[in-house]
Amino acid sequence: MNALSQALMPSFFKEQEARRYMDSDRDFIDDGWIEHLLEQSRHPDRSRIREILARALSLVRLEPAETAALLQIDDADLWPEVFETAREIKNKVYGPRIVTFAPLYCSNLCTNSCLYCGFRRENGSASRRRLSIDEVRRETEALVQQGHKRLVVVYGEHPTSSIDYQCETIEAIYKTRVGHGEIRRVNVNAAPLSISDYRRLKEVGIGTFQVFQETYHHETYRKVHPRGKKADYDWRLYALHRAQEAGIDDVAIGALFGLYDWRFEVIGLLLHAIDLERKFGGVGPHTISFPRLEPAAGAPIQPGAAHAVSDEDFKRLVAVLRCSVPYTGLIITAREPAEIRRDVINVGCTQTDASSRIGIGAYAEDYGEQQSRRQQFMLGDTRDLDEVVRDLAEMGYLTSFCTAGYRCGRTGVHFMSLARSGNVHRFCIPNAILTFKEYLVDFASDETRAVGEKLIEKHIRETVLQPLRPHVRKRLAEIENGKRDIWF
């Protein structure tokens, strides 16, 4: 569907697409029920918490009442047990790897009025731009030259970011090559689409489609999205149901923490995951994001308001999510400073961005202090990819640039069944090692390479399954000899 026909899309059809997944004409977020559940779950007793943690360790998805009990823990000495459980779950399901990507902002033109965002239409101080296809290529080249293999492309909601523009930019990214480098997976963060538009994105080969509900609390949602298409809560809530129906089986949910009570939002995320699982053959979201509100130029809502989430609560919410949805990736972004990122990676995050610039055209062109006028909000971690990779390696984590799973069809229901049978380890750890090695050979500084090579050796000896070790070593030698893009 092109920009014009999308704008003219009869509201009847839009209404049908928004409502077709509802049960008895109601969406799956019952605010009163969630508030009541949280109220009822206050002061959980220690033995119940330990039972829930034991169930979480058996890698089942928790029920809302169990998650609510974890969220309401008030014995300070029980939280370390939750953190430890989250760490163990992460190790069992994902092993010692962190998938790394970079965001590529293609346009900051937006017709919405989200009160927290620097791209809102009323922000007259923002300098607005949509990248040309040539500029998208130059941004991609700059990212490839740093060693990135995975991107998330980001668009504002605007007729100029039509589905045609989205497809063209994604195709241009996939075609860009620099020496040994190329982008192998493009994920998308954009406004909700119709089923027919999602099909077009599927055809150009996107990985995951992300839509963050921002807040699951209806009244708060209405207040912070006063105008524009984004004011329609249900169109957004069912965005990823439509994506699934269009065949995009890796979908990603998220909430912007700081708009409403963090415990409420965690239950909202869980209910969202459960509804997707129920309606799409057990396939829940591929990842969950939990950005915390950051300062944004020209935004009426700034961090620090009534629902600000403290660092301690942030770590708790990540650990509770890890315990609640063991097979869903958790993304921590460069909105958070390095120390917080280290902390939450240890309690369950599986993906992170690095070297991120969120201004339009900011990778190819350095525009220093003009930054805040071109970007959506301020970042907490501006380290380059090499520093992040080294830091993660010093913590014992392999940086994975792997995209094999998605290119071999290990997505959606296939990914879930592999994950549940513990087979992710068979593929994902060796593949993380191979893509990490490629990065070390092609892009790393001497210092990072030294730390990284030691880590690879350690994981071959301690983590890779015995029968696979010779095969991993053989492929590592092939990479040293110039072969690229090999996987299990």
CA distances, 326 to each of 86, 243, 287 (Å): 9, 22, 11
The nearest distance, CB 114 to ligand SF4, in angstroms, is 3
Contact by Cβ (8 Å): 282, 240: no
Only segment of 9-17, 31-39, 82-90, 207-215 that touches ligand SAM (CB under 6 A)? 207-215
Nearest of 49, 46, 43 to residue 70 by alpha carbon: 49
If one asks whether residue 376 binds ligand SAM (CB under 6 A), the answer comes out as: yes
If one asks whether residue 191 binds ligand SAM (CB under 6 A), the answer comes out as: yes
The nearest distance, CB 243 to ligand SAM, in angstroms, is 13
The nearest distance, CB 119 to ligand SF4, in angstroms, is 4
# chain residues binding ligand SAM, by CB under 6 A: 19
If one asks whether residue 391 binds ligand SAM (CB under 6 A), the answer comes out as: no
DSSP 198: H
Place of tokens 């899309």: 9
The nearest distance, CB 255 to ligand SAM, in angstroms, is 8
If one asks whether residue 335 binds ligand SAM (CB under 6 A), the answer comes out as: yes
Binding footprint of ligand SF4 on the chain (CB under 6 A)? 110, 112, 114, 117, 119-120, 156-157, 230
From the list ligand SF4, ligand SAM, none, pick the one residue 215 interacts with, judged by a Cβ distance below 5 to 8 Å according to partner type: none
From the list ligand SF4, ligand SAM, none, pick the one residue 294 interacts with, judged by a Cβ distance below 5 to 8 Å according to partner type: ligand SAM
Q: Which of 41, 189, 215, 375 binds ligand SAM (CB under 6 A)?
A: 189
Nearest of 289, 223, 286, 224 to residue 257 by alpha carbon: 289
The nearest distance, CB 120 to ligand SF4, in angstroms, is 4
The nearest distance, CB 296 to ligand SF4, in angstroms, is 8
Pull the structure tokens for residue 372.
């805040």
- Dmax (CA) of the chain: 62
DSSP 365: S
Place of tokens 């708060």: 220
Nearest of 58, 148, 151 to residue 106 by alpha carbon: 151
Only segment of 14-22, 183-191, 454-462, 467-475 that touches ligand SAM (CB under 6 A)? 183-191
Contact by Cβ (8 Å): 190, 79: no
Burial (CB < 10 A; 0-12, 13-18, 19+), residue 263, is buried
CA dihedral 122, 124, 125, 126 (to 10 degrees): 70
The nearest distance, CB 118 to ligand SAM, in angstroms, is 7
The binding track of 293-322 with respect to ligand SAM, each residue x by CB under 6 A or -, is xx-x--------------------------
From the list ligand SF4, ligand SAM, none, pick the one residue 120 interacts with, judged by a Cβ distance below 5 to 8 Å according to partner type: ligand SF4
Helix residue ranges, H only, 250-326: 262-279, 311-324
For residue 413, the tally of other CB atoms under 10 A from its CB is: 12
Site for ligand SAM in 93-132 (CB under 6 A): 116-117
367 phi and psi, to 5 degrees? -115, 30
Provide the binding-site residues for ligand SAM, judged by CB under 6 A: 116-117, 154, 156-157, 189-191, 211-212, 214, 256, 291, 293-294, 296, 335, 376-377
